[in-house]
Structure 1
Amino acid sequence: MVPPSEPLTRTRGLGIFLVIGGAIAFAAAFALTLDKIHVLQNPDSQLSCNFSVLIGCSKNLASWQGALFGFPNPLIGLAAWSVVITIGMAILAGARFARWFWILFTAGVWAALAFVIWLIAQSIFVLDVLCPWCMVTWAVTIPTFWAVTLYSLKEGHIPASASVRRRAAAAYSWILVITVVCYLIFAVVAQLKMDALGRL
């Protein structure tokens, strides 16, 4: 367990972020789930998330990539972000988690990031369309990955050398900048491959 002497202020910021970020991503997953149900009920319907040939969700929902595990991907989001929100609320309530919990949670956000990177690549290089609700989820997953990973490293929940912990602690203060850099990389790749600005 986390030592009782650990100030709760160390985790309060993380808890707030997990609740707010998780709620935003959950809302996106919920909206995409409703759109999927709407398409199943009315295959020829036009969804409100379809803004142009570049920005839309119908193509993603209809593709095999949109149901990688045999069911719609948004259902994964509904389940996963519910867990993230719950963890955030538990942190704010003063819960203290064991090391194994943080290791599993960190492994979960690594898996989430890998899945998101794959989805981004499929959207840009294969489907040639950007799903707005998907992008909201991507936008939350990236800082969640950095926040949880760097926190786990700097607090010693993940075994690492003292120098790695110091670097993680320093980087933790720069999560916003790191996240913006990740967004810019995504934007540049989308522009180079899809001519995003020219198709808006």
Structure 2
Amino acid sequence: MPPQQTHTRPLALAIWLIIAGAIGWWAAFSLTAERFHLLQNPGSTASCDFSPLVQCTANLASWQGSVFGFPNPILGLAGWVAPIVVGFAILAHARFARWFWWLFELGLTFAFVFVIWLIGQSIYVLGTLCPWCMVTWVVTIPTYYAVTLHVLRAGLLPAPPAIRRGAEALMGWVPLLAIVSYAIIAVLAQLRLDVLGALF
């Protein structure tokens, strides 16, 4: 018998999902618009190209920018709608079945793993930092942490009581976990690309 579900109306999570979804969608839209601009104007550069280090063009034009045969931002245009819808639904007192949360968590896990891979490709292979890509990283990472901890603490995923209590305790530390993650990315970028040297 599955454990009883708790935290059936996580308001803070709902609000964050709406905010993160809107920011992520706008970043994906902006990157998609830049991609269309580059296709319509061969040889031009994107408006988010600020230097050889901070730019979008190299990322969009690379094979890493179209891993599945189409520009990656299209994934964001479709995918970021889900957190927005889920967030508003929670505010409207909707309750989702366990399978729905499992699928939502699976989607966010894919997004998180994909973003980590893209971060590695950007820093260690392409040698660039795409501004709109970084916006996507900034919202994907805490969103994954928050939803994962929620499904654990709420009993939506099978987990021992100790893990549920741990997830409950960590939920308030999601902002710090995100900041630590950003710091690790920044250190890796600095060590590999000498970001500060390039900027100053």
Unaligned runs of 5+ in 1: none
Deviations 1:50-90 (A, max 9, x none): 01111000000000000000000000000000111111111
Aligned to 1:100: 99
Question: Structure 1 residue 49 and structure 2 residue 48: aligned?
Answer: yes
Deviation at 1:161, TM superposition (A): 0.2
Structure 1 residues 126-165: aligned runs within 5 Å = 126-165=125-164
Which one-letter code corresponds to 1:57 in the other structure? Answer: C
Q: For 2:30, give the aligned amino acid.
A: A
Unaligned runs of 5+ in 2: none
Q: Does structure 1 conserve the Cα–Cα contact (< 8 Å) formed by 2:7 and 2:154? A: no
- The sequence identity of aligned pairs, in percent, is 56
Deviations 1:81-121 (A, max 9, x none): 01111111111111100111111111111111100000000
2:98 counterpart of 1:71: no
Look up the match of 1:194. Answer: 193
Instruction: State the SS of the aligned residue for 2:53.
Output: coil
Q: Which residue type is aligned with residue 182 of structure 1?
A: S
CA distance in 2, matches of 1:155, 1:83: 20
- Look up the match of 1:115: 114
Query: Any idea what SS the aligned residue of 1:101 has?
Result: helix
- Contact 2:6–2:155 under 8 Å retained in 1: no
Superimposed CA distance per residue, residues 148-191 of structure 1 (whole angstroms, 9 cap, x where no aligned partner) = 00000000001100000000000001000110000000000000
Match of 1:89 in 2: 88
Deviation at 1:6, TM superposition (A): 6.0
Q: TM-score, normalised by structure 2?
A: 0.95
Q: Deviations over 1:113-146 (max 9, x none)?
A: 1000000000000000010000000100000000
Residue identity matched to 1:55: V
AA at the equivalent of 1:179: A
Question: Size of the alignment, in residue pairs?
Answer: 197
Moved over 3 A (4+): 5-8
CA distance in 2, matches of 1:111, 1:15: 20
Q: What CA distance in whole angstroms lies between the structure 2 residues aligned with 1:21 and 1:99?
A: 23
2:60: which partner in 1? 61
SS at match of 1:170: helix
Does the CA contact (< 8 Å) of 1:53 and 1:199 recur in 2? no
